[in-house]
């Protein structure tokens, strides 16, 4: 009875009195449609990059030009996340989510109609803004509507969505690029966006709003700092790492340092409540998810360029090699989420990250040894299992003990670190790939043949393949950092063995929420 009353009090705090008994699952399913679309749009572009380069940028040999199609999206996605989480608290997660979904869907139409690479990059930047409005709301709704001891299952769905999107994105991208053209990887978002909008209007409840003051100085500093760092990393190889590039990156680091300093000294309400980082698991999960974002974004580019340009696979054929990854990740993620409600997160995270890093090592060996194509299914299987023990468990661990009033801020911080990791990964892999190309194919940037415009000349295939394989060393090293980080997690206070709370934490949180709910 005590647990029942506690759950009821917590539900009252996170929703209206009329929706106390309302199941949170339909709302989460509705929000997952939009989250799914965001993830698909990232993976679908990685498969289409060679086709986009051939269509819109056929006369240059620098791979970093087309990489900006991904980086522009990730940059405008990452920068606003801190404030969009707070916007959800202030104006309601449902309202902010619907606004972002509308922007994202309209921008998808603009992407498909873009007549030049520059216009496509601009439209992708607008897409990123829409995604930034949407993403924190999914995690905030989980935090505010699911009791802590049940969030593992909800985050399991969140992780399963990432896994299924990993399948649908590349596969749909390959089919659309081969059958209809690269434009249709963006047009496909329009019907999905409309369905997701209608579902969210009907199924997502209006949660109580919380007044927040917005740290405009913090927004400006974080935006400037991130832009300087990412632009410097992205364009460094193109400008031969000129002095002004290093000055730009250093200036970005300094600005981010000033940003953190202002957050610590803020007398009002900071953009980033640093006290959240006093919770060890929240801090460690943020560091780990940054390495995961870096790894997942950076590993796709060299793989796809190798399979399509060096081995001659079509976008569809290269995407089919990812089917084991996506199926296993999607199927196993919900089970991992339920298991996480009963055990220490390290029991899932350590094997998961080890499998992801190990599978990248196998990819590297296969590429360098010109292995048969079927062999690339082996690391795909291992990575699928690893992903199931990585995405959901990290998100659950980060948000498990967040109070409802900090749901938006916590979700914003978590998604910001994940996306910043992706941005830096995208920028870094472009520079690293170009550097390895120059090392293995001296003068490649000045060659008359263009990478991305068709089959490679036979005399450069070996050097190109070696460069793409060696590029995977970077994400391997970064995911190793994430593995070391999760070793420092501690067993969370909220565990649910055999279907019952292990301690009084849920009841205590509900008891704290009850007086506030009574005053609403």
Is residue 105 very low, low, confident or very high in pLDDT (cuts 50, 70, 90)?
very high
Specify the pTM: 0.74
Which pair of structure tokens corresponds to residue 125? 């930047």
pLDDT digits (tens, 9 = 90+) for 242-281: 889 899 989 999 998 999 898 888 777 777 777 788 888 8
Q: Count CA atoms closer than 13 A to 106's CA, side-chain side.
A: 9
Specify the 3-state DSSP secondary structure of 238. Answer: coil
Compute how many other C-beta atoms are within 10 angstroms of the C-beta atom of residue 275. 9
Please indicate whether residue 5 or residue 127 has the higher confidence score (pLDDT): 127
In eight-state DSSP terms, residue 456 is P
- More confident of the two residues 56 and 153: 56
Q: What's the pLDDT at 472?
A: 94
pLDDT in tens, 107-123: 999 999 988 888 999 99
Q: Which residue has the higher pLDDT, 504 or 318?
A: 318
User: 371-403, pLDDT tens digit by residue?
Assistant: 999 999 999 999 989 988 888 788 778 877 776
3-class DSSP state of 1: coil
Percent of the chain with pLDDT over 90: 20
Q: Is 241 left (phi over 0), alpha (psi -120 to 50) or beta?
A: left
Q: What is the pLDDT of residue 389?
A: 85
- The pLDDT confidence band at residue 507, using thresholds 50, 70 and 90, is very low
Rounded (10°) CA dihedral 59, 60, 64, 69: -10
Three-class secondary structure assignment of 212-254: CCCCHHHHHHHHHHHHHHHHHHHHCCCCCCCHHHHHHHHHHHH
Contact at 8 Å (CB) between 449 and 125?
no
HEC assignment per residue over 316-347: HHHHHCCHHHHHHHHHHHHHHHHHHCCCCCHH
- For residues 89 and 102, what is the distance between their CA atoms, to the nearest angstrom? 19
Q: What is the mean pLDDT of residues 176-200?
A: 88
Residue 484 has pLDDT above 50, yes or no: yes
**How many Å apart are CA 319 and CA 332, to the nearest integer?**
20
- pLDDT tens for residues 196-206? 999 988 888 77
């Amino acid at each position: 009875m005590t647990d029942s009353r506690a759950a009821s009090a917590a539900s009252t705090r996170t929703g209206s009195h009329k929706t106390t008994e309302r199941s949170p699952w339909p709302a989460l399913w509705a929000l997952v449609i939009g989250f799914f679309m965001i993830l698909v749009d990232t993976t679908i572009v990685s498969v289409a990059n060679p086709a986009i380069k051939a269509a819109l940028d056929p006369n240059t040999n620098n791979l970093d030009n087309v990489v900006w199609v991904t980086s522009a999206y990730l940059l405008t996605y990452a920068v606003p996340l801190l404030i969009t989480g707070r916007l959800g608290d202030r104006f309601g997660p449902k309202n902010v989510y619907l606004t972002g979904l509308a922007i994202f869907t309209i921008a998808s139409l603009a992407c498909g109609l873009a007549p030049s690479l520059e216009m496509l990059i601009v439209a992708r930047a607008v897409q990123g803004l829409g995604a930034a409005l949407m993403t924190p709301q999914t995690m905030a709704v989980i935090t505010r509507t699911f009791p802590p001891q049940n969030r593992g299952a909800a985050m399991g769905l969140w992780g399963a969505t990432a896994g299924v999107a990993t399948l649908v994105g590349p596969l749909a991208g390959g089919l659309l690029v081969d059958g209809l053209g690269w434009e249709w990887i963006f047009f496909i978002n329009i019907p999905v966006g409309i369905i997701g909008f209608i579902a969210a209007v009907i199924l997502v409840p209006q949660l109580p709003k919380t007044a927040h003051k917005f740290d405009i100085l913090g927004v400006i500093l974080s935006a400037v700092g991130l832009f300087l760092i990412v632009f410097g990393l992205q364009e460094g190889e193109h400008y031969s790492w000129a002095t002004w590039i290093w000055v730009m990156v250093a200036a970005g680091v300094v600005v981010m340092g000033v940003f953190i300093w202002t957050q610590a000294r803020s007398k009002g309400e900071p953009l980033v409540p640093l006290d959240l980082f006093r919770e060890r698991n929240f801090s460690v999960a943020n560091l780990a998810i940054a390495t995961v974002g870096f790894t997942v974004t950076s590993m796709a580019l060299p793989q796809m360029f190798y399979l399509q340009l060096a081995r001659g696979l079509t976008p569809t054929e290269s995407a089919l090699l990812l089917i084991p990854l996506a199926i296993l990740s999607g199927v196993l993620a919900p089970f991992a989420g339920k298991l996480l409600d009963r055990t220490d997160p390290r029991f899932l995270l350590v094997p998961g990250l080890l499998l992801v890093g190990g599978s990248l090592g196998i990819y590297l060996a296969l590429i360098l040894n010109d292995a048969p194509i079927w062999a690339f299914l082996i690391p795909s299987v291992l990575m699928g299992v690893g992903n199931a023990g990585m995405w959901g468990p990290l998100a659950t661990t980060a948000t498990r003990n967040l109070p409802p009033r900090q749901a938006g801020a916590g979700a914003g911080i978590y998604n910001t670190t994940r996306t910043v990791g992706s941005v830096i990964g995208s920028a870094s892999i472009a520079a690293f790939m170009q550097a390895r190309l120059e090392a293995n194919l001296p003068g490649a940037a000045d060659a008359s043949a263009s990478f991305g415009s068709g089959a490679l000349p036979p005399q450069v295939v070996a050097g190109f393949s070696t460069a793409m394989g060696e590029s995977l060393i970077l994400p391997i090293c970064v995911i190793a950092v994430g593995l070391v980080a999760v070793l420092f997690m501690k067993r969370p206070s909220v565990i649910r063995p055999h279907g019952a709370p292990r301690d009084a934490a849920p009841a205590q949180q509900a008891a704290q929420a009850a007086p506030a709910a009574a005053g609403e």
